[in-house]
Chain A
């Protein structure tokens, strides 16, 4: 699976939304179930699924799908 599809899958599972509903507008502001607790679960799940460690300064700020994708790709490149 492409990274983006896996990422959408992880977000869909943790946030309890449909994977095909996720696009560049998807963010903490537009998804009702995406609160601070679910955000933490999301960071955990992404780290585990991709085997990366999201830097502490980014963890709190990646509150939209494009931002997560950006930070994740940086981490994957560095691997």
Chain B
């Protein structure tokens, strides 16, 4: 175990040489038992041999492991075909701007505008074909174009940059048409490192290998972060300490007038900026929570009355402000929001609290506010990347409001005599859709992140959902729910396939936001009817246990399907469609 930790420390340390990186990656791949394996293909018009070492490195740092295969030189169509044959799941597509034609940046100023336009049209057609062929891959990382040689500042607009921008727009617009293609901003990497550190002219001229190791390392890091460590994490909530995390000083001692929090002076502006960053995350759908040892009234006073507090009470989805230990409080927050501990990111300024949480709850991702406050902005960037680099669907945005509706709903449920009375009062409405291409991204996202109410935990990329939608041998059902408190959005998915006489349920999952109101029973009458229309006479489904989905172990029993076999916790169900009657849900209005 400690050998693994040493190797990981070596790989994360700055200044580890290429030789030591290669040997640590090799050693770690032999030692580690990765949770996920992924096969990646690299297709480029320059030589990027070292990218494979660094992709393997960053996969290992996320607990995954990557097999990398290299394509041919500037031959993406053949590469895609060969990758698919070799079982590659994800592809890095890295066209290098200056090598689109030999020394393209130098040529641009001499070429006729028509010749540049023709090159652009040619590339557009080619990329479209590449992406089309790569549809069945789970993910394609299409790297954007960036400059190689610096521009001379003539005071006028630079010709090369103009062409570069146009080509990037072309690449993005082609990528947009494909749900599995994601553009990686390589210009941002050059900007971060500087051209001096990013490129090696010697090897570019000798071997068409333009990138120095810092560029390749950062590119690999960003690709793996964009893939959420190849789906090894999906954080949903950011749990914040208060004193010296959201403001400088201690509210219980310094009082509201004494804490440091304002946009115009140091150190108050550090905390004010941090609050801005946290609120921006909330807008993107991250749940903000408080976990603080304080008197709740003191903390409320800051949120309600401090003139420079960016965060207000309505931005907080769950709070544990008390004198209990933080480990219990984090567990309580996870319970309240109905999410796993591995969905939490926790920030605190204290060594003691951070270490306590790290050792008692290893699933929680812990960050400590830097001792040097001027390093705080860098931490904010890291946290933003952790939540946002994987992409977000519009549906996910500002979930706090939805969770708050849920809280209010929980409160009003106390006033009714029976649960049915309460449910009837909710005015629940469900919209059931089949093969809803418009919500492809959200449907895939739900399969990737739902853990608890998930019967088979079948993860599906947007491309895989697209295939199911396109196929006549199955149907993708999705469901949106709303009640008088608000719209919960797209919250349930069933993936069914029609196999001769049998309708098979490949996946069934719900967002935990809506559980306990019968919404989970809305799919089945429509599905049974569809199955009959496809000539099916039986329905088959199963429950596959994971560490997290025990709460639905008996769902199909409750649905009224007979259990026919059980093997190692997996429960198999089968019924004749004629004898299958899902439980009634009179209090929900279902529209299709």
Contacts and interface: CB of A to CB of B under 8 A. Distances in A.
Interface of A: 9-10, 13-14, 36-38, 40-41, 44-45, 48-49, 56, 59-60
A49 B213 CA distance: 14
A36 to B, nearest CB: 6
B381 interface: no
Contacts of B203: 40, 44
Given A13-B19, A38-B49, A49-B19, A44 B213 contact: yes
B19 A14 contact: yes
A60 B206 contact: yes
A59 B19 CA distance: 18
- The 4 A-B pairs with the shortest beta carbon distances in the complex, nearest first, are A45-B18, A37-B49, A10-B19, A45-B19
Given A41-B49, A44-B18, 13 more contacts: A9-B19, A13-B19, A14-B22, A37-B49, A38-B49, A41-B50, A45-B17, A45-B18, A45-B22, A48-B18, A49-B17, A49-B19, A59-B206
Nearest to B25: A13
Interface string B192-233: 000000001011001101000100000000000000000000
Contacts of A60: 206
Contacts of B206: 40, 59-60
Contacts of A37: 47, 49, 207, 209
Interface residues of B, number: 16
B272 to A, nearest CB: 42
Contacts of B107: none
Contacts of B50: 41
Nearest to B17: A48
B4 interface: no
B23 interface: yes
A70 B206 CA distance: 22
Contacts of B18: 14, 41, 44-45, 48-49
Contacts of B49: 37-38, 40-41
Interface string B49-63: 110000000000000
A48 B20 CA distance: 11
Interface of B: 17-19, 22-23, 26, 47, 49-50, 200, 202-203, 206-207, 209, 213
Max chain A C-beta neighbours (<10 A), residue from B19, B203, B213:
B19
28 contacts: A9-B19, A13-B22, A13-B23, A13-B26, A14-B19, A14-B22, A36-B207, A37-B49, A37-B209, A38-B49, A40-B49, A40-B203, A40-B206, A40-B207, A40-B209, A41-B18, A41-B50, A44-B18, A44-B200, A45-B17, A45-B18, A45-B19, A45-B22, A48-B19, A49-B18, A59-B202, A59-B206, A60-B206
Contacts of A56: 202
A10 B50 CA distance: 15
Contacts of A40: 47, 49, 203, 206-207, 209
Contacts of B23: 13
Nearest to B70: A37
A14 B53 CA distance: 11
A14 B22 CA distance: 7
A9 B203 CA distance: 23
Contacts of B47: 37, 40
A29 to B, nearest CB: 19
A41 B206 CA distance: 13
Contacts of B22: 13-14, 45
A52 to B, nearest CB: 13
A11 to B, nearest CB: 9
Max chain B C-beta neighbours (<10 A), residue from A38, A48, A60:
A48
Nearest to A48: B17
Contacts of A9: 19
A49 B23 CA distance: 13
Nearest to A36: B207
A48 B200 CA distance: 13
A3 to B, nearest CB: 14
B251 to A, nearest CB: 50
A40 B18 CA distance: 12
Contacts of B209: 37, 40
A45 B206 CA distance: 17
Contacts of B200: 44
A40 B213 CA distance: 12
A10 B200 CA distance: 20
A31 to B, nearest CB: 16
Contacts of A36: 207
A32 to B, nearest CB: 16
B57 to A, nearest CB: 14
A60 B19 CA distance: 20
A36 B202 CA distance: 14
A35 B222 CA distance: 29
A68 to B, nearest CB: 14
A36 B209 CA distance: 11
A48 B21 CA distance: 12
B66 to A, nearest CB: 17
A74 B133 CA distance: 52
A27 to B, nearest CB: 18
A38 B47 CA distance: 11
